[in-house]
A and B are shown apart, each in its own frame.
Chain A
Amino acid sequence: MMVKKIKQTFTDLWSLVVGLKVTGKNFFQPQLTVHYPRETVDTLDGYRGHVELVPKKNDPFNPICIACGTCAKICPSNCITLHVKKVTEPAPSAKKEDSASQEPVQNNQKAASPKKPKTKRVLEAFELNYNYCSLCGLCAQSCPLGGLRFSKNVYLAGVSPKEFEIDLLARMRSQSQIAKEEN
């Protein structure tokens, strides 16, 4: 009993030395952080920033999104607001509807009337209020077409909440524009 206790004491004391060894070693190892404004990191593969729209493969200026509104409905924080315009395609009589349509569609949005076969829902703006986003990923998961994904937008800082209300459609288009110019 006594011997065991003494032995235990010495193992405990030795563990203190081991602790010092760990921190001492770390002290001399290279740093893991970078000096942010002057340096940035490029290993962002696992990073989950705010969500973004996925562009179509053959048409990078238009999103896969069909403005169904599932993501807006499922978002627990009501971050997503869709601005949808209903366009009745070849019908010349549809002038009235065309101009009166731009309505914000949120959770309780009603499905477009199925009576008119040629009515198309065109996404005008996809507004994400990142201030309230909990990055839960439900929106991306529930999209029937895989039209949303997490962006790698790390360097996001601002001085007012307004700066985090992002129009994802405009963002996607400007990114495609930049990509196009680079090519």
Chain B
Amino acid sequence: MINLPMPLIQILIGLVAILAFVGLNGLVLVYLERKIAGHVQRRPGPFEVGPHGILQPLADAVKLVGKQLITPKGADAVLYWAAPIISFAPAIVCFLPIPFGPTLTNININAGLVLILAFTGLNVLALCLAGWSSQNKWSLLGAARDISQSVAYEIPLLLSILPIMMLSGSLNLYEISTSQGAWPWQWYIVYQPLAFIIFFVCILAETNRAPFDLPEAESELTAGFHTEYSGMGFGLFFLAEYSYMIVACAMASILFLGGFNGPLASGWWWFLLKVYALLIVMMWLRWTYPRVRFDQLLNICWKWLIPLSLVNLLFTALVIKL
């Protein structure tokens, strides 16, 4: 028997569980997304594979796995194939410090919030590499857009988290959760509604969701940074995108909606419920709004979100001091 230190075993088990969770959630979210898209447009969505089409994502996954992996001519093969992995791997790490329930945190570290923010930032690098190494104009344009978008939106994102740090006095996600009560009026969203709205808009942009899906922009850039990817190369990007969506919504529910705290019985069910509610809102937004133009996107960020979040931050600081 190899003697592994306890924390390592814990992390390994956690990683395996997270991988399973991410895979399962990927399937569920793809199905949910297509169903919501269908119903918003008053059509049934996937319906043919399995009862009400619930096996459709599985069939899609099998199709993706079975496809040939093609490296385009002139592409930088190493970077090209590293990119989807660099995109997906940090997403898994981001799940480690998330407190799913009162006793369900993989690693309870003090800098959990910082860890997530740092690792989600890596995704930008992956998309940049993917766009650059594909030897394709659309990919390159998608990558360029993604970088300027991320640079712009990281700032209001952090500025909207700062008031929560001040209120809870902690960077530990578990402590932030427990510093909020069980009932909705004890959650930080009540004290910081503006920060919540800014945070939510920013995570839409950070996860490249419509109406801020400019790096992918099907109608302009074919598929943006992942135009050239086939099979599981594309599959990994896809999975990474959904994982980041879950991470982002988990953050939103921990920071603003009380995390796993809920009326009557606190537990992971409240957490999942909140995360899924936010995910559904994200999809609802996607199928409601048209994509913004790039200058509009940057205008929203620099002219509105950053000043507003700064004002909000100052105001919070003042109130706490007084």
B43, B44, B284: the one contacting A23 at CB < 8 Å is: B284
Stretch at the interface among A24-32, A126-134, A148-156: A24-32
Answer whether residue B124 sits at the interface, using C-beta atoms and an 8 A cutoff. Answer: no
How many residues belonging to A are interface residues under a CB distance threshold of 8 Å?
A: 15
Do A20 and B44 touch across chains, with their CB atoms under 8 A apart? Answer: no
* B287 proximity list for chain A (CB < 8 A): 23
Majority SS at the chain B contact face: loop
CB distance from B216 to the nearest CB of A (A): 21
CB distance from B277 to the nearest CB of A (A): 14
Answer whether residue B148 sits at the interface, using C-beta atoms and an 8 A cutoff. Answer: no
| Given known contacts A16-B289, A20-B285, A22-B288, A27 and B47 CB-to-CB distance under 8 angstroms | no
CB distance from B52 to the nearest CB of A (A): 11
Distance, CA A22 to CA B41, complexed state (A): 11
Distance, CA A29 to CA B288, complexed state (A): 16
Distance, CA A20 to CA B283, complexed state (A): 11
A20, A26, A30: the one contacting B41 at CB < 8 Å is: A26
Do B42 and A32 touch across chains, with their CB atoms under 8 A apart? Answer: yes
Do A24 and B284 touch across chains, with their CB atoms under 8 A apart? Answer: yes
* B36 proximity list for chain A (CB < 8 A): 27
| Given known contacts A16-B289, A20-B284, A22-B288, A27 and B39 CB-to-CB distance under 8 angstroms | yes
* A20 proximity list for chain B (CB < 8 A): 284-285, 288
Answer whether residue A35 sits at the interface, using C-beta atoms and an 8 A cutoff. Answer: yes
Q: Determine the interface band of chain B, counting residues with CB < 8 A from chain A.
A: 10 to 19
Answer whether residue A113 sits at the interface, using C-beta atoms and an 8 A cutoff. Answer: no
Answer whether residue A160 sits at the interface, using C-beta atoms and an 8 A cutoff. Answer: no
Answer whether residue B311 sits at the interface, using C-beta atoms and an 8 A cutoff. Answer: no
| Given known contacts A24-B284, A35-B47, A19 and B40 CB-to-CB distance under 8 angstroms | no
Please provide the chain A residues from 85 to 125 with a CB less than 8 Å away from any CB of chain B in the complex: none
| Given known contacts A31-B42, A32-B42, A33-B42, A23 and B47 CB-to-CB distance under 8 angstroms | no
Distance, CA A120 to CA B285, complexed state (A): 68
| Given known contacts A22-B288, A23-B287, A24-B284, A29 and B44 CB-to-CB distance under 8 angstroms | no
Distance, CA A151 to CA B7, complexed state (A): 73
Do A29 and B47 touch across chains, with their CB atoms under 8 A apart? Answer: no
Distance, CA A126 to CA B41, complexed state (A): 42
| Given known contacts A20-B284, A23-B284, A32 and B289 CB-to-CB distance under 8 angstroms | no
Distance, CA A112 to CA B1, complexed state (A): 101
Distance, CA A64 to CA B41, complexed state (A): 44
B42, B44, B288: the one contacting A35 at CB < 8 Å is: B44
Please provide the chain A residues from 1 to 56 with a CB less than 8 Å away from any CB of chain B in the complex: 16, 19-20, 22-24, 26-33, 35
Do B44 and A31 touch across chains, with their CB atoms under 8 A apart? Answer: yes
Do B43 and A31 touch across chains, with their CB atoms under 8 A apart? Answer: yes
When C-beta atoms are compared, the residue in chain A nearest to B44 turns out to be A31
Do A26 and B40 touch across chains, with their CB atoms under 8 A apart? Answer: yes
Do B43 and A33 touch across chains, with their CB atoms under 8 A apart? Answer: yes
Distance, CA A63 to CA B278, complexed state (A): 64
CB distance from B205 to the nearest CB of A (A): 15
CB distance from A75 to the nearest CB of B (A): 35
Distance, CA A156 to CA B105, complexed state (A): 58
When C-beta atoms are compared, the residue in chain B nearest to A16 turns out to be B289
* B284 proximity list for chain A (CB < 8 A): 20, 23-24, 27
Distance, CA A22 to CA B47, complexed state (A): 24
CB distance from A122 to the nearest CB of B (A): 49
Do A27 and B40 touch across chains, with their CB atoms under 8 A apart? Answer: yes
CB distance from A6 to the nearest CB of B (A): 12
When C-beta atoms are compared, the residue in chain B nearest to A19 turns out to be B288
Q: Which of B36, B285, B288 has the most CB of A within 10 A?
A: B288
9 closest residue pairs by CB, A with B = A23-B288, A33-B43, A32-B42, A27-B39, A23-B40, A19-B288, A31-B42, A27-B40, A20-B288
Which residues of A are at the interface with B, using a C-beta cutoff of 8 A? 16, 19-20, 22-24, 26-33, 35
Which residues of B are at the interface with A, using a C-beta cutoff of 8 A? 36, 39-44, 47, 284-285, 287-289
Selected A-B contacts with CB under 8 Å, 28 pairs: A19-B288, A19-B289, A20-B284, A20-B288, A22-B288, A23-B40, A23-B284, A23-B287, A23-B288, A24-B284, A26-B39, A26-B40, A26-B41, A26-B42, A27-B39, A28-B39, A29-B42, A30-B42, A31-B39, A31-B42, A31-B43, A31-B44, A32-B42, A32-B43, A33-B42, A33-B44, A35-B44, A35-B47
- Beyond contacts A28-B39, A32-B43: 8 other A-B pairs, Cβ-Cβ < 8 A, are A19-B289, A23-B284, A26-B40, A29-B42, A31-B43, A31-B44, A33-B43, A35-B44
